Amino acid sequence: MTLSRFLLLSLLIGGLALSGCSLTPSMPAPEAEQEMPDRFEAAPGDTTLPATATDTARYNPARWWTAYDDPALTALVDTALAANLDLSVARARLDELAAQFRIARAPLFPSVTANAQGSYQNQPANTGIGGAIGGGQGPDRFEFTDYQATLGVSYELDFWGRVRSQRKAALNQYFATAADLQTARLSVISQTISTYAQIASLQRQVRLGQRTIDLLEQRVAITEDRYSRGLLPSFQLYTVRQSLQSARAEQPDLERRLYEARTRLATLLGRFAGAQRALLPDSVTVPLAPTSVPAGLPSDLLMQRPDVRAAARRLEAARQQIGAARANLLPSVSLTGTGGTQSSELADLVDPGQVFTNFVGQLTAPLFRGGELRANLDAAEARYRQQTASYEQTVLTAFQEVKAALVAYNEQRRRLQEVQQQVETAEDAFQTQRDRYERGIGDVLSLLDAERTLVQARTRLSGVRQAVLNARLALHRALGGSWTNAPSPEDPRLLK
């Protein structure tokens, strides 16, 4: 058989083997997936309205953070996605799994090797075979020169689907790691937005805190003057001084938290502390997304959560590993062939008459391995049960987190409305006291107290705005990003 015929025969047999059977078992869907409700029911008292046409037009599911309508924030998130070092680690891990997938699918193709060899041997005639046949009757030494150029092909028939099961397992592990990368991206996006909002909130609280100190210092000065004239008891003076001391004591902690938030943002952006200043605008406010969350979200949105997708992929990989473990219990067939030219003269290697071929077909059946192969199958089935429980736990946790996030976001919005009304009331009270003071019928202490109450209300509003944003971020994390299905494209590297 010539080398070309052998290669053709090997490829044909390999093609037939690809249509062999698979020992991967069919498994029912996990119970948590079967019993999951169709929709997320609205919480009692939930006033969330469906998104309007305007909201839908402004909302980009793939870049959901643009709904905050803050160009500086969008630029920060884009920078973090490009430069965050945790994401760099996750991307490198994904590249590793892509290579592992290509390694797992490599046995589906024949292995071809080329070899060129030259050997020279010179030995006495009375040793080895020459000595056994009486080397004294011939030449004193034997001299051999041999040149070879060979091409070898080997292939294991995947009749039981072992290699294909391992390939599918590796592919699902890759997609699970890709989902892990999406989880990391979602975390970086949320942390960037949350830190940006915290910086804005703390900056405003620091300014309002300093204004509170200024007002209390004025009030202390007036109270001391009235106390020295015997118009006020000492108790009121001590009370005002304690309020001033308390306000001064809170200010360093606010400034410390502001510094930590700024440095944390720099780390998220993959930069040293201080470098983030060039990306922050001069005036930062806590962003509130203008788009509303539709009521009665479908529960199948959970399937777009990266951690749920990762758990589902790992469950499928474990199922495929059972098929591979089953195939290891059965005989395997491998084909090996070698062809080339051989000559004692280098120039004769191109002579067609020096061609040689060698073909070997081998059947290997495991008879006794001390229970190793059966134990591998038991381990694979146990890993599948582990992944099943892990997947069900992930689905249950995801469902609970979405419901909790919907309730929390709704309650924080209601709280924001109440605090906004408090601020409006405090503004009206301050305006009234200022008008009375300017007309000469009000005293300065009442004016200072009204302004301090207004400052306190605005400080509370700043904190509540941040709480609303954090609740919104928690909802995005619970839904895996957006509340509309946005399919993720497959990695083109796997199609090569």
pLDDT in tens, 234-266: 888 898 899 899 999 999 999 999 999 999 999
Higher-confidence position of 381 and 57: 381
Residue 422, both tokens = 């408090």
Can you give the pLDDT at residue 43? 52
pLDDT greater than 90 at residue 379: yes
Pairwise CA distance, residues 131 & 141, whole Å: 11
Which residue type sits at 462? Answer: S
Contact criterion met (CB below 8 Å) for 43 and 410: yes
- Cβ-Cβ contacts under 8 Å for 45 (sequence gap 6 or more): 410
**Radius of gyration, alpha carbons of the chain:** 38
If we measure between CA atoms, which residue out of 253, 302, 277 comes closest to residue 38? 302
- Find the mean pLDDT for residues 390-399: 93
- Cβ-Cβ contacts under 8 Å for 323 (sequence gap 6 or more): 22, 23, 24, 25, 161, 162, 165
End-to-end, the C-alpha distance of the chain in Å comes to 34
Residue 68, both tokens = 């905050």
Choose from 9-23, 87-101, 226-240 the range with maximum mean pLDDT. 87-101
Pairwise CA distance, residues 144 & 405, whole Å: 83
Pairing of β 141-157 and β 332-343: antiparallel
pLDDT greater than 80 at residue 145: yes
Contact criterion met (CB below 8 Å) for 135 and 124: yes
Q: Which helix (H) or strand (E) segment is 177 a member of?
A: helix 162-228
pLDDT band for position 493 (cuts 50, 70, 90): very low
pLDDT greater than 50 at residue 51: no
- Cβ-Cβ contacts under 8 Å for 104 (sequence gap 6 or more): 163, 166, 167, 169, 170, 171
Can you give the pLDDT at residue 458? 94
Which domains can be identified in the chain, with CATH numbers?
A: 1-20+111-157+333-365 (2.20.200.10), 36-109+160-330+372-495 (1.20.1600.10)
Contact criterion met (CB below 8 Å) for 196 and 76: yes
Q: Which helix (H) or strand (E) segment is 363 a member of?
A: strand 355-364
User: What does pTM read for this prediction?
Assistant: 0.81
pLDDT band for position 321 (cuts 50, 70, 90): very high
Alpha helices in 293-363 (DSSP H): 306-327
CA 253 to chain centre: 34
Can you give the pLDDT at residue 273? 85
Tally Cβ neighbours within 10 Å of residue 275: 13
Choose from 292-301, 351-360, 399-408 the range with maximum mean pLDDT. 399-408
Pairwise CA distance, residues 64 & 53, whole Å: 16
Can you give the pLDDT at residue 13? 52
- Find the mean pLDDT for residues 82-108: 93
Which residue type sits at 423? Answer: V
pLDDT greater than 60 at residue 6: no
Angle between helix 234-268 and helix 162-228 axes, rounded to 10 deg: 150
pLDDT band for position 61 (cuts 50, 70, 90): low
